[in-house]
Chain A
Amino acid sequence: MRRSILTGVVLVTGLLVLLDLMIVNPSLHGAAGAVNELLVLLAAAAAVGGGATLAAHHARTLAAGDGDSTASIVLLVGMASMLVAGLRPGSSGSSDPAVLWLVAALLAPIAASLFALLFVFLLAAIRRGFALRLRETSLMAGAVAVVIVLLLPIGGQAGDWLAAGAGWVRDVPLAGVFRGLLIGTGILVAVSAARSLVGLDPDDD
C-alpha cells in the first residue's frame, strides 16, 4: 500500500511536469511551478540538514576521541569561519568582502592545487589500468602516444603534416566516438527518465 501511494505520487507529479512541457495552460503551469517550488524547498532543507549533520558528526568524533581529530577540527573551524563571515551583524552575506576573501584566498587555491594532482593520478591510473587489463590500456596508452607525437611543436612541412593529422584525429575518430557516446547516453537517459517519471523500477519488470 505504501509503495502504491509513493508510486502514485511520482506518477502524478511526473505527468504534471510532462504535460506542462507539452501543453500551454495557465492552471497546469501554476501546478507544475508549485511542484518545482516544493522541490527547491526540499533541496534547501536537505542542504541545511546535511550541513548540520556534517557538523554534528565531526563534533561527535571530537567528543568521542576516535577518528581523525585534526581533520574534524579543521572542518569545524572552516565552517565556523565561513558562517561568521557571512552571517555576522552588518555582513552583506555571500558578497561580503570577508567571504569573498575566504573563497578567493583559501578555497580556490586549495581546489586548484587538488586538481593539479590530476597528472600524477593519471599516471597512477594508467599503472592500475595496465595491471587490470593489458590490451585496452595498451590501446589507450598507444593512442595517447600518437596524439603527443602529433602535437609536437615542429615547424616546416613535417610540422604541417603533424598538425593536419592532429586535426583529423580530433575531427573524425575522436568526434565520432564522443558523438556515439552522447547519442547512446541521450537515448538511454530518455528511457530511464520516462521510467522514473511513471514510477517504474526493476521490481516492476
Chain B
Amino acid sequence: MPNLGEFASYLVGLVTDAVGSSSMRLGAAPTVAILLVLLVLLSLVARPGARWVASDLGGLARVGRKMALAAESGADATVSLGSAGVSRAASATDRFQTLAALPLLGHVADAAARAGVPLRVTTNDPVAALLAQATLAAAHQRTATPERASTTAVEYVGEGRSAAAAFALASAQPHGVAAVAGGLAEDALLVLDGVLGDAEWSLAATASGSQAAGPLLSGDGSLVGPAFFQAEGEIGRGGHARTVVLAANRLIWGTIGLLLVGSLLAWAGAPQVAAFLTGR
C-alpha cells in the first residue's frame, strides 16, 4: 500500500528541485506578459461563456419568441424530464441526464415566466419532481414574477418507463411550447410523440445514443448525444458574448483561408507576398 505522506513529499521535492535548478530566460516583465496572454487565451477556451463556438444548439435561442407567441395564442407549455429520473433503477448516465435537463428546464421556465404562459412539468421520479419544483421557483425569483408561480406545476406521473409513456400518450394535446429533455429508453418515441405531438414548437433532447433517432424525427429542435450536455453552456449567454464569439470565429476562418490561399499561391510559384509585406 503506497504511503500518502511519502508520495506528497516526493511531489514537493520534485517541484522544489525543478524550481531550484531553473532560471528565467526572459526576465520578470516579459515572462509575466507571456503568462498573461496565455491566461487570457485559456480563459477564452475554457470558460463556456466565451468559448470559441457560437451556435444555436437545439434552437434554444428561439424559446423566448415561441413562448411569447404561445402567450398571444393562449396556449400553454409543457416539459417532460424523460423517464430515467434521479433515484430510479436506471443507469448512472441515464439518471445524470435528468440533472443535465434542469438548466434547460430553467431556460424554458424563465421564458414562460416572462411571457406569463402556464407551464407544466412531468416526471416519473419524485426526487426529480422536487428538483423541478426548485428550478421553477428559482425561475420565478430570477424573473421577479412570483405572482405567476401559481400557473406552473410539477406532476409526478407514477413509477416506471411505461407509466411515463402511457401518461404522455393519454394526456396528448396541442401545446404552445413542448419539450422532452432527459434519459429515454425504449419508451422514447412514445414519450416524444405524446408530449411533443402537435406543439407549435418542440424540443427533444437526450444523450441516450440508442434513442438518437427519436429526437431527430420528433422535435423542431433536437439535442442528441453530447449536444445535450453542451447546451447547458450555450443557454443564458448574453447577446454581446455571442457577437464577440461570432466575430472571433469569422476572424479565425478568415485567417485559415488566407493561409490556404497564400500556401496555394506559393506552391503555384507566385511571388512571396508575406515576404514583401513583412519586408524580409
Chain A residues engaging chain B, CB cutoff 8 angstroms: 23-24, 42-43, 46-47, 49-51, 53-54, 57, 71, 75, 110-111, 114-115, 117-118, 121-122, 124-126, 128-129, 132, 136-137, 140, 178, 181-182, 184-185, 187-189, 191-193, 196, 201-203, 205
Contact = CB atoms under 8 A, between A and B. Distances in A.
A187 B48 contact: no
Main secondary structure of the interface of B (DSSP, over half): helix
Interface stretch (B62-70, B159-167, B263-271): B159-167
B52 interface: no
A118 B166 CA distance: 12
Interface string B201-237: 0000001011011101111100011101110110110
A205 B216 contact: no
B109 interface: no
B217 A23 contact: no
Contacts of B156: 50, 53-54
B126 A182 contact: no
Q: List 3 tightest A-B contacts by C-beta distance, closest first.
A: A50-B126, A184-B226, A43-B87
10 contacts: A50-B125, A50-B156, A57-B155, A114-B162, A114-B166, A121-B193, A125-B217, A188-B230, A202-B103, A202-B235
B190 to A, nearest CB: 6
Contacts of B220: 132
A124 B193 contact: yes
Contact of A202 (B127, B210, B232): B232
Given A43-B127, A187-B226, 9 more contacts: A114-B165, A121-B190, A122-B189, A125-B192, A184-B225, A185-B93, A189-B229, A192-B232, A202-B233
A170 to B, nearest CB: 14
A118 B236 contact: no
B87 A46 contact: yes
Contact of A46 (B126, B192, B209): B126
Contact of A181 (B129, B162, B190, B209): B209
A203 B129 CA distance: 22
Nearest to A44: B87
B244 interface: no
B226 A110 contact: no
Contacts of A202: 48, 103, 232-233, 235-236
B45 to A, nearest CB: 13
Nearest to B194: A121
B47 interface: yes
Interface in B164-183: 165-166, 169-170
Q: Which of B87, B99, B160, B214 has the most CB of A within 10 A?
A: B87
A111 B160 contact: yes
Contacts of B219: 132
Nearest to B207: A185
Contacts of A136: 216
Given A184-B225, A188-B229, A193 B96 contact: yes
B34 interface: no
Nearest to B49: A205
Contacts of A203: 236
B200 interface: no
A201 B99 contact: no
A181 B127 contact: no
Contacts of B130: 46
Contacts of B87: 42-43, 46-47
Contacts of B13: none
Contacts of A185: 93, 207, 209, 225-226, 228-229
Contact of A49 (B86, B99, B126, B230): B126
A110 B103 contact: no
Contacts of A193: 96
